[in-house]
Amino acid sequence: MASMKEDRGEVDLTKRVEELDKSLSIALDINDKFQRENKKLTDKVRAAEGETSIVKTIGMNSPEMREKDKLIQELRMRIRDMLLISEQHRNILGDEITDRKRLEQEVKDLKVQMSEYLSVRVKGARDNAG
């Protein structure tokens, strides 16, 4: 019986070694694929970095970029001018609103004075008539 257990143990171990061999082979294949993909991606990154470096070096000093920079500066100055004008208009509008409120109050006061004046005149005319 002892020899059967040993034989079965050896068979189990042999199967286990075969399974581990297959797993190792699959893992090595996957690792190889990942390393090739990593190499491709690394090459793409290097190429993109090189292109970016070239664009930064040449592009920033190109006539087109200088023209765009000039346009940006002009637009910034126009925006600044428009903001100043807008602030001035806001101030003028504020003054106009204040003046309008003052004039409205004066009109109300004059209406009250006219009403009182007419009331006194009408009362005086009734007193004189009667």
User: Going residue by residue through the chain (130 aa), what tens digit of pLDDT does each one get?
Assistant: 445 455 566 778 888 888 888 888 898 889 989 899 988 888 888 888 888 877 777 766 778 778 888 999 999 999 999 999 999 999 999 899 999 999 999 999 999 999 999 999 888 888 887 6
Whether pTM exceeds 0.75: no
Residue 66 forms part of a structural domain: no
The whole domain housing 34 covers 1-61
Alpha carbons within 13 angstroms on the beta-carbon side of residue 78 total 6
Residue 111 forms part of a structural domain: no
Residue 124 forms part of a structural domain: no
Residue 48 forms part of a structural domain: yes
Provide the token pair at 119.
Answer: 């009331």
Asked if 59 and 65 count as a contact pair (C-beta separation under 8 A), the reply is: yes
Residue 40 forms part of a structural domain: yes
Q: How far apart are CA 57 and CA 129, in angstroms?
A: 103
Q: Chain centroid to CA 59: how far?
A: 26
Asked if 121 and 127 count as a contact pair (C-beta separation under 8 A), the reply is: no
Tally of domains in the chain: 1
- 61, with CB counted inside 10 A (0-12, 13-18, 19+), is exposed
Q: Which position has the token pair 């023209």? A: 67
Residue 13 forms part of a structural domain: yes
In angstroms, the Cα distances linking 123 to 64, 67, 75, 111 are 87, 83, 71, 18
Residue 119 forms part of a structural domain: no
Residue 24 forms part of a structural domain: yes
As a whole number of Å, the CA-based R_g of the chain is 48
